[in-house]
Structure 1
Amino acid sequence: MSEITVRPLGADDWERYRSVRLTALQESPDAFVASHEAESAEPEEFWRARMERSTRLLAEVDGEPVGIASVGSADDDQPETAQLFGLWVAPEARGTGVATALVRAGARTAAEKGKRQLHYWVGTDNGRAVAFASGFGFRPTAERRPMRVVSSDDGEEELAMTLPLSGDRGGIAQF
């Protein structure tokens, strides 16, 4: 595989983001809160506003999109915390380091904005995602919430995992 590049998308990149996001929703419908049907019907203004709310990261190989992730505020009562969300990697690029590159870029983005920690919500039944996040340096917190994906109505939960971005990172490798 060629080199993986990750870059933030600007407001004018809304069509590129829309295209990759809709591909993600179609390919992995059970992984997202939104549906392909609902988001594909949204107008340009929706997508432009979305680009302003959070930093959208695009992973590419040879100029072709292979993954996306977003970094935004966790919530108003945690101003020092950013949240990584919407992480998706194209099936043909899974296991090649794309997810790691996106998470690294997300951590750098949050740190550059002065955030002290990065949250990542993971389904408690998704052992692969928990292992990936743990291997990157995320640690589980006591925070839980009902699973917020379209397909979940069985009481499954997500847990917030957190990654320190400043100070003593406990031996966690630099991002």
Structure 2
Amino acid sequence: MSSIQVRPATLRDAKAIAQIHTIAAQQAYQGIVPDEQLKSLSVEKRQAYWREAIEYCEPQVQVAVEDEKVIGFVGYDRSRDEKSRPTTGEIWAIYAAPSHWDKGVGLALWDAARDGLQEEGCTNVTAWVPLRNERAIRFHELAGFKREMSTAKTAVVGSVKIEEVRLKRAIAG
């Protein structure tokens, strides 16, 4: 039985969220984003971003906790895509500490985000994922998301262009 608990994030969680976001991104994007860019990721900048997100609930943030330690987080809200329906939600970010990859943290976070989006009246949910981030694509597909290949676009991350694809699924089911 898993001891992972998911709860709404508090301002006190912002530093742990920023640390997980930074280290998980550095590992997940190795070989996709240049090393010098990955090394320049700043916990401080991410902490400021997540403090603001938690304070203003944009996006809504939940954390996965094990033994009172934050081990992952999810940020979700309405879709930021232009022309999306008001009933479409979006996973803005979902990360687990690399030490907890493949241990059910992402699934617990996804379940919490799905419940939160359903409470908001959303019927569908999307997520933008870099095509070369095979771990993230696999996670979303295992969670029932399907690729919408016609949505493939190039995003600029720092000095690098990254091909992203939107994945989508119904909230129920």
TM-score, structure 1 normalization: 0.77
Residues 69 and 88 in structure 1, CA contact (< 8 A), matched pair in contact too: yes
For structure 2, which runs of at least 5 residues remain unmatched after alignment?
30-39
Of the candidates 26, 29, 42, which is equivalent to residue 22 of structure 2? 26
Residues 71 and 82 in structure 1, CA contact (< 8 A), matched pair in contact too: yes
Counterparts of 1:58-137 in structure 2, within 5 Å, are 58-75=63-80, 77-78=83-84, 79-137=86-144
Tell me, in whole angstroms, the C-alpha distance in 2 between the residues paired with 1:112 and 1:164.
Answer: 14
Residues 19 and 43 in structure 2, CA contact (< 8 A), matched pair in contact too: no
Tell me, in whole angstroms, the C-alpha distance in 1 between the residues paired with 2:112 and 2:43.
Answer: 29
Residues 126 and 166 in structure 2, CA contact (< 8 A), matched pair in contact too: yes
**Structure 2 residue 6 is matched with structure 1 residue 15:** no
Give the 3-state SS of the residue equivalent to 1:137 in structure 2.
coil
Kindly, what percent of the aligned residue pairs are identical?
22
> How far off its partner does 1:146 sit?
1.9
Q: 1:3 to 1:106 in 2, by over 3 A?
A: same
Tell me, in whole angstroms, the C-alpha distance in 2 between the residues paired with 1:136 and 1:41.
Answer: 28
**Structure 2 residue 167 is matched with structure 1 residue 161:** yes
Residues 25 and 36 in structure 1, CA contact (< 8 A), matched pair in contact too: no
Aligned to 2:36: none
Tell me, in whole angstroms, the C-alpha distance in 2 between the residues paired with 1:132 and 1:29.
Answer: 15
**Structure 2 residue 6 is matched with structure 1 residue 6:** yes
For structure 1, which runs of at least 5 residues remain unmatched after alignment?
170-175
Of the candidates 51, 55, 65, which is equivalent to residue 60 of structure 2? 55
Aligned to 2:155: 147
> How far off its partner does 1:111 sit?
0.8
Tell me, in whole angstroms, the C-alpha distance in 2 between the residues paired with 1:37 and 1:59.
Answer: 19
Amino acid at match of 2:151: E
Tell me, in whole angstroms, the C-alpha distance in 2 between the residues paired with 1:40 and 1:163.
Answer: 28
Backbone CA RMSD of aligned residues: 2.6
Tell me, in whole angstroms, the C-alpha distance in 2 between the residues paired with 1:164 and 1:26.
Answer: 30
Aligned to 1:36: 42
> How far off its partner does 1:123 sit?
1.0
Deviations 1:110-150 (A, max 9, x none): 11110011111111112222121111100111222223544
> How far off its partner does 1:95 sit?
1.1
Deviations 1:63-105 (A, max 9, x none): 1110011011213632111111221111221111001111111
Tell me, in whole angstroms, the C-alpha distance in 2 between the residues paired with 1:102 and 1:148.
Answer: 27
Amino acid at match of 1:86: A
> How far off its partner does 1:48 sit?
5.0
Residues 118 and 165 in structure 1, CA contact (< 8 A), matched pair in contact too: yes
Q: Which runs of 4+ in 1 moved over 3 A?
A: 28-32, 46-49, 147-150
